[in-house]
Structure formats: C-alpha cells, structure tokens
Amino acid sequence: MTLYLIRHADAGKRDPYSPSDHLRGLSEDGLRQAARIADRLGGAGVTRVFSSPFLRCRETVEPLAERVGVEVELHRALAEGADGRDVLALMRGLVGTSAALCSHGDVIPDVLWLMERRGTVINGKRGNAKGSVWTITTDGDALVSAAYTKIPRKPDGAPS
C-alpha cells in the first residue's frame, strides 16, 4: 500500500501578528494546486484522507476526499508545530492502507528525517514546496521508500 504525505497548498502570506492563522485558507493558486492533487491521487486507491485541523490543510485535501468518496479526518498530530514522531506513529498505524495525510512545512522535514533514520530510503530529489506530495511505499509494517513530487501553483507552462 501507499501513503501520501502532502504539504498544504499555497495559502498566501502569513500575518505574523494574526492570532487566527489556523483559519487562513488557500489562495487561488492553492485551490488550483488542491485540484491538481486530487487529479494526481484520485485514481491511486486512496481510501482515507487525513488533515491537520488548520483550514489550509483541510482545503488542500477536500477535493481529493470528495473525489474518492470519503470524509476528511482531522488529526492533531498533523497540525503546525506538531512533533514528527506523532506523525510517524500515525503513518505506521496506517501501513496496509492507502491514505493521504496533509500537514505543514515545519512538520514534514522532521517526519522525513525520522523515517530516514529508521531505514526508509529517500529516492531522488528532496523538497518541501507548498502543495508537494511525498509518495511513501510500504511493505508489511515498514515504510520502505519515499519519493518527492512538486505540484505547480501556476497553470501549466507558467513559472511558479
């Protein structure tokens, strides 16, 4: 089975003084990225979709959840500032399931570092762009390998 670890799509600029950053939704580019993620993963056999409780993450995976006919499951382990060990525990509990998990740019690198320390092979290019997808193959109870894909923010052919 396969797990997909997704960084939320473009949500515009953060206001460092806003106490309600968790309510910041996707930009127009981010909404297009979310649709592209749904296009890319909609036929991949995803049966569960998880998201950080933050609006920008939910909006990133809602089109995918709708396409595959499931509800988005909110999980605090995926929230901004979360401990990568909690995300890794969630992922290990999902081995044997095809699931998509949406989190944040401060969490995903920590998760990948932990995975690599535990023997997961990181294939090819590494990155953490908004709207990117890490495809993680599993075998038994192991997270075997991970590969990075960047999902463009702009329409095809336009620079991001």
pLDDT of residue 141: 83
Contact 130, 10 (CB under 8 A): yes
- For the chain, what is the mean pLDDT? 89
Q: 65-118 pLDDT, tens per residue?
A: 999 999 999 999 999 999 999 999 999 999 989 999 999 999 999 999 999 999
Q: Specify the amino acid at residue 100.
A: A
Cα separation, 61 vs 37, whole angstroms:
8
Q: 39-62 pLDDT, tens per residue?
A: 999 999 999 999 999 999 999 999
Provide the 3-class DSSP secondary structure of residue 5. Answer: strand
What's the pTM value of the predicted model, to 2 decimals?
0.90
The radius of gyration of the chain from alpha carbons, rounded to an integer in Å, stands at 15
Cα separation of the two ends of the chain: 32
* Residue 19 backbone dihedrals phi, psi, to 5 degrees: -80, -5
